Amino acid sequence: MRNIFIAGSTGSIGKNALNVIAGYPDKLSAKAIAAGHFTDELKEQVLLFKPSYCVLSTKAESNKAKESFKNIKGVKTKFTFGEEGFREVVLKGDLEIVLNAISGSSGLMLSYMSLAAGKDLALANKESMVMAGDILNKTAKSFNAKIIPVDSEHSALFQCLRCGAKSDVKKLILTASGGPFYNKDKADFKNITVDMALNHPKWKMGKKITIDSSTLANKGLEIIEACYLFNIDEKQVDVLIHPQAAVHSMVEFNDGSIMAQMGAADMKGPIGYALSYPRRFKGLMKPINLAEIGRLDFFAPDNEKFPFLNLARYAIKTGKSMPAVFCVANEFFVNSFLEGKISFNKIAVNVDKVMQSHKLFNLNAIEDVIEAKNQAESLSKQVR
Ligand code: NDP
Ligand code: MG
């Protein structure tokens, strides 16, 4: 039995993860869950999975949860909140794996605390790896914990990399569906509305990552995530647009062989692999039918139309605090776009401005990452 902490349990990845757990009750148990807010959905999850802990983002939300369960007998769940709540769960929760499916930079501390407590980390929250890749890798090494990617491309790379030695890898090829605007004229980008950007053709996901997929900032974050996860140079990470989303990513080896991982566009695949690794769960997903798909297309990305790819490359090449600033500024302006304060094409323009005005510093400890986050937020507020 593997005891799991599902953080972000009411989100798109979190709900999928609970479905996987429910499908393998003799192998997996949701020992702890976490969400930002106490909702009816979270209440249902507590009643169904009976976790030992449920962590909310604030004291007020955790008090709401306690109040709601006051008269319900047989539920022994302890409701806690914030970073102290996370710390208690990772230290005392009797866990094997933490699945971090919190959205955005709020996921940073849980990734760090899980590894520092020696727990394996199934990582959906790419933002924490982008912000603090070196520190998370060092922490994992010091406390003998593994980081297992849940992002579908990185799960694919992780699986393909098992086919050869690290020293034989020539490059990693990230695939991208291209998002809803791949064929749209750049001149029309300024007229893209929030509703248009939230309508992703292939994946149903949380709002932040859906906007990131439409700007290709998501692919930019994934380039950086791949560099840190697999300790590889940015020049060895390519991107290919692949509209069918059947090949989830590829590894090219020095002999010219390319290994690809394929499957349905279904996050149960990478979630299940992270929770079963190094084995696999039987019947996890419906296999794809290649004859029905018929053809697989691949195109080089248009870097001029989607400036986020080059911005991300610039961030990881610059290193130090720049990837964290890139990540946090992007999150800030995605929120501004969602709130109707800026137009679609201003997201990248503004992130670029913040990166240009940032004064680089070394990230030696997690506190430095938090400082980079604070600085990026304050610079973002000054951008006009
Ligand atoms: P969602 O917005 O759907 O869900 C986010 C979850 O995190 C919600 O349960 C939310 O609760 C919770 N949450 C937010 N802040 C906190 C907090 N401070 N403490 C505890 N819980 C919190 O996001 P997704 O599931 O789409 O994405 C999650 C992560 O996985 C992101 O980093 C994303 O990039 C990554 N990812 C997602 C994929 C997908 O298919 N969705 C694919 C690959 C990666 P509440 O709503 O109550 O605030
Ligand atoms: Mg992805």
The per-residue pLDDT for range 259-315, each reduced to its tens digit, is: 999 999 999 999 999 999 999 999 999 999 999 999 999 999 999 999 999 999 999
Q: Are 324 and 233 in contact (CB under 8 A)?
A: no
Strands (E), the chain: 2-7, 28-34, 53-56, 78-81, 97-100, 120-123, 147-149, 169-176, 237-241, 247-253, 258-262
The stretch 94-99 carries a mean pLDDT of: 96
Q: Which residues, including other chains, have CB under 8 Å from residue 91's CB and lie 6 or more apart?
A: 117
Side by side, the strands of the sheet bearing 247-253 are: 237-241, 169-176, 247-253, 258-262
Range of weakest confidence among 41-50, 193-202, 219-228: 193-202
Residues with CB under 6 A from ligand 1: 7-14, 34-37, 57, 101-103, 106-107, 124-127, 151, 203, 205-206, 209, 267
Q: Which two tokens stand for residue 63?
A: 């008090």
- Residue 202, classified by CB atoms within 10 Å of its CB into exposed (0-12), middle (13-18) or buried (19+), is middle
Closest to 149 (Cα-Cα) out of 5, 4, 313, 271: 271
SS3 81: strand
Q: Which pLDDT band holds residue 384 (cuts at 50, 70, 90)?
A: confident
Could you identify the residue written with the tokens 């800026």? 342
The stretch 136-152 carries a mean pLDDT of: 98
Residue 204, pLDDT above cutoff 90: no
pLDDT tens digit sequence for 62-81:
999 999 999 999 999 999 99
* pLDDT value at residue 91: 97
* pLDDT value at residue 253: 98
Phi, psi of 98, deg, nearest 5: -110, 120
Percent pLDDT > 90 in the chain is: 97
CA of 272 to the centre of ligand 1 (A): 17
pLDDT tens digit sequence for 15-51:
999 999 999 999 999 999 999 999 999 999 999 999 9
Could you identify the residue written with the tokens 């020049």? 235
pLDDT tens digit sequence for 172-185:
999 999 999 999 99
Q: Cα–Cα–Cα angle for 96, 99, 103, nearest 5°?
A: 160
pLDDT tens digit sequence for 109-118:
999 999 999 9
Residue limits of CATH 3.40.50.720 in the chain:
2-149
pLDDT tens digit sequence for 114-133:
999 999 999 999 999 999 99
Q: Which two tokens stand for residue 224?
A: 């950086």
* pLDDT value at residue 214: 96
Residue 316, pLDDT above cutoff 80: yes
Atom of ligand 1 nearest to the CA of 42: 47
* pLDDT value at residue 200: 81
Paired strand residues for 252? 171, 258
Strands (E), 47-196: 53-56, 78-81, 97-100, 120-123, 147-149, 169-176
Q: Which of 18, 205, 218 to mutate to test the pocket of ligand 1 (most atoms within 8 A of CB)?
A: 205
Distances (CA, A) of 67 to 32, 49, 366: 19, 19, 35
SS3 261: strand
CATH 3.90.1150.10 fits 2-149, yes or no: no
Provide the phi-psi class of 245: left if phi over 0, else alpha when psi is between -120 and 50, else beta: left
CA of 291 to the centre of ligand 1 (A): 34
Query: Mean pLDDT of all residues in the chain?
Result: 97
CA of 263 to the centre of ligand 1 (A): 23
Percent pLDDT > 70 in the chain is: 100
Q: Is the CA virtual torsion 122, 127, 130, 131 positive or negative?
A: negative
